[in-house]
Amino acid sequence: MPFYEPQEDSELLRIFVEKLARGDVLDMGTGSGILAFAAAKQDDVRSVLAIDLEDDALAHVKNQLRGRHDFLKKIRTQKSDLFADISRDERFDTIIFNPPYLPNEPGDAHPALYGGPGGWELIERLLSDAKSHLKPGGIILLLFSSLTNKERVIQFMKREGYQCRELAMQAHFFEQLYVYELWRST
Ligand SMILES: C[S@@+](CC[C@H](N)C(=O)[O-])C[C@H]1O[C@@H](n2cnc3c(N)ncnc32)[C@H](O)[C@@H]1O
């Protein structure tokens, strides 16, 4: 898998990116760039930073940026393991994350799919680190699955001081997908 081809999860989160993304946007784990492009098309969005760990994904997104549409000028790409290589003082109005959320089986390692032994580990790292990269009033748009352990993810959000609301639940054959909006209490 050179990069993650958009699936039902990407399409579901895209609906809320189109409705809610604003200001300076971070698309964490951009993959094909589907959510970065959706964000950049919105008039309320000023800039989009598209991050991924995978060179193939970043090469694909950079290639798309050669097009002529004006909204493409809002997008830049960067390789980073979550926030590791993002400047400490960079802040965002909107952080988008469609993470790898499946629990790892022994031997499974693909970074686009597996979020850790419980599925939720990468989400917890993101939520913990994102606190210092959100502008006042900023939001996180997060997708996860019933396979990720919903109760644990929601408990973690609250423990880290986020408020949240469920924007969508979509039932599939073997899982439910959830989209959450999170923000910090002021
Ligand atoms: C489920 S895919 C989502 C891709 C795209 N955003 C979408 O909605 O179709 C998860 C993406 O996160 C990237 N990723 C995984 N671990 C990461 C990490 N530690 N830091 C940055 N990106 C990561 C993967 O390479 C993959 O592109």
Residue 183 or residue 119, greater confidence? 183
CA of 63 from ligand 1 middle (Å) equals: 18
pLDDT at 108 over 80: no
User: Distance from the CA of 112 to the center of ligand 1, in angstroms?
Assistant: 5
- Is any atom of ligand 1 closer than 6 Å to the C-beta of 52? yes
* Structural contact between residues 25 and 45, judged by C-beta atoms closer than 8 angstroms: yes
Round to whole Å and give the CA distance between 111 and 73: 28
Indicate if the pLDDT at residue 144 is higher than 90.
Answer: yes
Contact (CB, 8 A) for 46 and 23: yes
pTM of the predicted protein model: 0.96
CA distance 130 to 124: 10
Ligand 1: atom nearest CA of 97 is 6
Confidence (pLDDT) at 163? 97
> For all residues of the chain together, what is the average pLDDT?
93
The pLDDT, as a whole number, for residue 186 is: 65
Q: Residue 109: its pLDDT value, please? A: 67
Return the pLDDT at 111: 72
pLDDT value at 172 more than 70: yes
Distance 99 CA to ligand 1 centre (A): 5
Tell me the DSSP string of 91-146. Answer: -EEEEEE----EEPPTT---TTTEEETTS-HHHHHHHHHHGGGEEEEEEEEEEEEG
Give the span between the Cα atoms of 16 and 38, in whole angstroms.
10
Give burial (CB, 10 Å; 0-12/13-18/19+) of 26.
Answer: buried
**In whole angstroms, how large is the CA radius of gyration of the chain?**
15
At 39-71, the pLDDT tens digits run 999 999 999 999 999 999 999 999 999 988 999
